[in-house]
Chain A
Amino acid sequence: DVKVTQSSRYLVKRTGEKVFLECVQDMDHENMFWYRQDPGLGLRLIYFSYDVKMKEKGDIPEGYSVSREKKERFSLILESASTNQTSMYLCASSLDWTSGRAGKNIQYFGAGTRLSVL
């Protein structure tokens, strides 16, 4: 089974703090993603990475950065946390994003990190 592990289930941080959210996958997947999920807004893509040291902005990258130094690990960084970044953060990975290769682009999610910024 694919396992995507997020380092924390719950985090409470203060406004202005630098926050690191870690995600590790054990299936040698090429692609990794960071989403946030808010009531009524669904899943929104923050950043994704299709290879080590490669990253692409998603729909809402402002206020976030990412790091992928190793294939299995994808980190989300909140440079200066703000209250509007209080949310559920979900990491996902997939083998391949090429949509023509059946099954390769299925995304597997970690359990999520519920972040509260006070």
Chain B
Amino acid sequence: RKEVEQDPGPFNVPEGATVAFNCTYSNSASQSFFWYRQDCRKEPKLLMSVYSSGNEDGRFTAQLNRASQYISLLIRDSKLSDSATYLCVVNGGEGGGADGLTFGKGTHLIIQP
């Protein structure tokens, strides 16, 4: 069974701080990686894809470390509106379908004023 592991938190962080969290995955053949954001009692929404070279979108930076099999999400200058649960999603390398869809249980982030 392929696993995706995340620290559930909560991470309590003061507004304006930088916060980072990781996600480890067990399937070394995984090819696609994503971070989703889920607000309380809402559906998950794609935050960003994670590319091999790392990628940045405004205050958010995602990194992939294939050797150690983890991805990371860095949030700079955190805002109150960043409070949410962040889900790590890894698609497998064996053709997709049920085998290729693995969601982490999420990391809960609370930004405090």
Per-position binary interface string of chain A over residues 43-85, scored 1 when its CB falls under 8 Å from any chain B CB and 0 otherwise: 1010010100000111100000000000000000000000000
Enumerate 16 A-B pairs (CB-CB under 8 Å) in ascending A order. Answer: A42-B87, A42-B104, A42-B105, A43-B44, A56-B97, A96-B96, A97-B95, A98-B96, A99-B32, A99-B91, A99-B100, A106-B49, A107-B46, A110-B43, A111-B43, A112-B42
Q: Which residue of A lies closest to B51 (CB)?
A: A102
Q: Which residue of A lies closest to B1 (CB)?
A: A59
- Contact partner of B46 (CB less than 8 A), chosen from A90, A96, A106, A110, is A106
Say what secondary structure dominates the interface of chain A.
Answer: loop
User: Which residues of A does B touch, CB under 8 Å?
Assistant: 33, 40-43, 45, 48, 50, 56-59, 90, 96-100, 102-103, 105-112, 114
Q: Return the 4 tightest CB-CB contacts between A and B, nearest first.
A: A97-B96, A42-B105, A109-B43, A43-B103
**Nearest Cβ on chain A to B102's Cβ, whole angstroms:** 9
Whether a CB of chain A sits under 8 angstroms from the CB of B98 is yes
Whether a CB of chain A sits under 8 angstroms from the CB of B80 is no
- Contact partner of B100 (CB less than 8 A), chosen from A42, A103, A105, A114, is A105
Number of residues of chain B lying within 8 A (CB) of chain A = 26
User: Which residues of B does A touch, CB under 8 Å?
Assistant: 30-32, 34, 41-46, 49, 87, 89, 91-93, 95-98, 100-101, 103-106
Chain B residues with CB under 8 Å of A57's CB are: 98
Name the residue in B30, B42, B87, B103 with the highest tally of chain A Cβ atoms < 10 Å from its Cβ: B103
- Contact partner of B101 (CB less than 8 A), chosen from A33, A90, A110, is A33
Name the residue in B34, B43, B103, B106 with the highest tally of chain A Cβ atoms < 10 Å from its Cβ: B43
